[in-house]
Structure formats: C-alpha cells, structure tokens
Amino acid sequence: MAVTSVNTGVRRSAASSGSYKSAMAMVTTLFFMWGFLTCLNDILVPHLKSIFDLNYFKASLVQFAFFFSYAVFAFPAGKIVEKIGYKKTMVLGLATMAIGALLFIPAADVPSFGLFLGALIVLAAGITALQVAANPYVSILGPERTASSRLNLTQAFNSLGTFVAPFFGSLLILSAAPKTIEQVRGMTGSVLQDYRLHEAATVKVPYIGITLALVLLALSVAMFKLPRIEATKEFRPDMLTEGGDSIWKYRHLLLGAIGIFVYVGAEVSIGSFLVNYFSQPDTGGFSVQTAAKLVSLYWGGAMVGRFIGSAVLQKVRPGRLLGLVAMIACALVLTSILTFGHPAVWSILLVGLFNSIMFPTIFTLAIAELGPLTGEGSGLLVASIVGGALIPLAEGALADRIGLHHAFILPALCYVYVAYYGFKGSRPTRTA
C-alpha cells in the first residue's frame, strides 16, 4: 500500500508557502469532521443501550463496528490513494461518509440495532479513507523534523470536533430523559415498538444535517487546488542485496502499531462508557444529559493538550514527552478506580488532556526513517486503529463481570505500554 513518504519517495508539484498554508487549512477541516463523527459514538452507545435494552458488551458493539472498519478498509484505501491520489481519495471518503450518515434514517425508521451498526460501518469506511489520505499528507506539507508538531496541530482541530460533539448529541439525541432499564423491560408489543421508534427518531435530524455538511465539504475539497503530491515506487539500494526491503524489518514501526492499537483502544474505552460511569450513584449520579456534557471536557482536554503539545514538541524530544504523558494518564485512571464521587469524575476527565499528543506522536515516531516504505508503514498504523473496536469490547465484557468502575483497569494497562514505547520502543534500530 502506497500512502505517502515523509521526505523521500514522493513527487511534489511546485507550490508557494502560501498555497501549503491554504492546503493545511482545508485539510484541517477534515480532521474536525471525522473527530466530530467519531465522538458522536460516545452518545450513541448509551442511547442505543437504552433503546434496545443492551448490556455493556452488546452496547460496545457500536464502537466495534465502527473501529473494526479501520482494519478492513485501511489497506484497500491505501490502494485507492495509489491509484487516484490524495485529493480524490479525500473526496471519495467524504462522499462515503455522507452515505453512511444518511443510512441512519432507515435504521431509525425500523428501528434496528443491526441497521445502525451497518450505517456505522459505511460511515467508518469513509473516515478510514480520509485518515489514510490526510494523516500522511499533513506530514509531507513541511520539514520532517516538525512533522510531529504539525500533525499535533491538525489533530487539535480533530479534538475540537470531539469537544463539540457531546454537546451536540446531548441537545439533539439525548434531549428526552430515557426510560430506566426496568421501565423498558416492563413494556411489551406495540408499546415497546412505539417507544423505540420515538427514541430512535431523535437521530434523524442530526444525521440529515451531517449528511448535508459532508456533501458540501466534499464539493469544497473537490474544487480546492491542493498541492499535488504523489507516492512513488522508489526503492533503496539495499533492497537488491537483502532480497527486498519490508516494513516488517522495522521494530520501531511494529511496536508503534501496537502503540496505536492500545492507545486508541484506551481512549475509546474511556470515552464510550463515561456517560454510564458518571450516571452511577457511587461516581456522580448525574443525569445522562449532564453526563454527556461532561464527556465534552474529556475530549476538550485533548484539544487543549494538542495545541500546547504542538508548541512543546518544537523543543522536547517526542519520545520522552510521550512516555511522560502516558505515565500521568495511567496514574489518573488508577486514581479514578480507587476513589468515588468527584475525585473519580475529575481524575478520569483529566486523562483527556494527557491523551492529547499520543496518536500523532506515536504515528510520526513509528514512520521515522522508513523512506519509501513510509506509505506501507502508514497503512499498518491506520489499520491498528482497530484497537478502538476490540479493547472497548473487552472492557464491556469486563464491566459486565466486575462492574464498570473497576473495568477501567484495562485502559490503565494500555497506557503502561504507551509509556514503554515512548521511552524505549520508539527508537529506530535501522536507518533509512
């Protein structure tokens, strides 16, 4: 899969610095949009859990369907980038996302949990194509030494989308107080069907609006003159002597793929269950509307942290900073597990601040010194986002057994690995 190369193995059209800045501004809007749609899943999880009377494991299938799509569609998306280029792949991704958002309407009309999952898969397929094209494209638009800082900056606008989404969802999707589990289970026949139709219908207006926004954004990108950058088929001289080079020979890349897997899994696991966590009597006892708004602080912390991190990474070694913030995130999760009430609430919310630089920093550390293999390495890292499917599923199963409060031990362990990768595992053992 050829996605991009950071500073070798790519061809660029001549462009002024002003055009690169304009391109960064345009691509940054894409980061905002997929962050917004990804975080809306945190609202869909408790909403669909209530409508269809799901346990935590079944409710986590929302995130499983969404993030497992990364593993399925990442490599095909890379092939599409290779054939039609970055810009057209971004437009195709946005169009696919619009179709996925529109499919929420028939899913609500039935209503069917399976159809909701199907709509999420189509939506995620489009976001996958967008990520495969946009993440490495941003890495190219400037010097390699500041790639991590630049990607953190664009990811900050991704976090702006995740910050806004819970407010949007709490106002439009969770507008009415849901029935308790006991009340839902007491319904039968047409009464139960009418309740599900009424509650599922709350997604229609938001997702119609999202569909229109995605169509307009796709048209805007299609008409915008992005600097043309193409992946090439160049190879290193040592490929002839070693029987061909391969991404599987690069330990720091493989460990980075695991790092992306566990980081995304930890972040999504926490975000997915915060509404339910804050609604529990021993934690906060908040209403679902208030809990959903608090989730915005979790994602808002990531936004603030990325703006700060973009500046700090100009002076501090990325690996060292990554290891430090991962250790702090782990300590905060353990604090929430061991406490109750407001200390448990605020410690878990603060994790978002320290999540901030993890994805873009792991990404840029993992593709360092890959040269023409950067494209294949990028594809592997995007596919590793499947951790957002599997780890929340495991946490849901764990929560059904030992309770949600203590199930957060799973993301805490994930942060231990991220700290290891930052301090040691990210050091390249081969040179490009």
Instruction: For residue range 90-127, list pLDDT tens digits in order.
Output: 999 999 999 999 999 999 998 889 999 999 999 999 99
Q: What is the model's pLDDT at position 183?
A: 61
Burial of 320 (0-12, 13-18, 19+ CB in 10 A): exposed
Q: What is the model's pLDDT at position 200?
A: 83
**Residue for token pair 């026949």:** 189
Predicted model pTM? 0.75
Instruction: For residue range 331-345, list pLDDT tens digits in order.
Output: 999 999 999 988 999
Secondary structure tally for the chain: helices H, strands E: 20, 2
Q: What is the model's pLDDT at position 1?
A: 33
Choose among 64, 58, 56: nearest CA to 400: 56
CATH T-level fold of 16-225+245-425: Growth Hormone; Chain: A; (1.20.1250)
Mean pLDDT of 131-155: 73
Q: What is the model's pLDDT at position 337?
A: 94
Looking at every residue in the chain, the average pLDDT score rounds to: 82
Most confident stretch, 50-64, 128-142, 151-165, 262-276: 262-276
Taking the CA atoms of 91, 97, 99 and 105 in sequence, report the sign of the dihedral they define. Answer: negative
Choose among 286, 266, 58: nearest CA to 170: 286
Instruction: For residue range 122-133, list pLDDT tens digits in order.
Output: 999 999 898 888
Backbone angles phi, psi at 229, to 5 degrees: -130, 125
Q: What is the model's pLDDT at position 309?
A: 84
Q: Could you tell me how far CA 318 lies from the centroid of its own chain?
A: 20
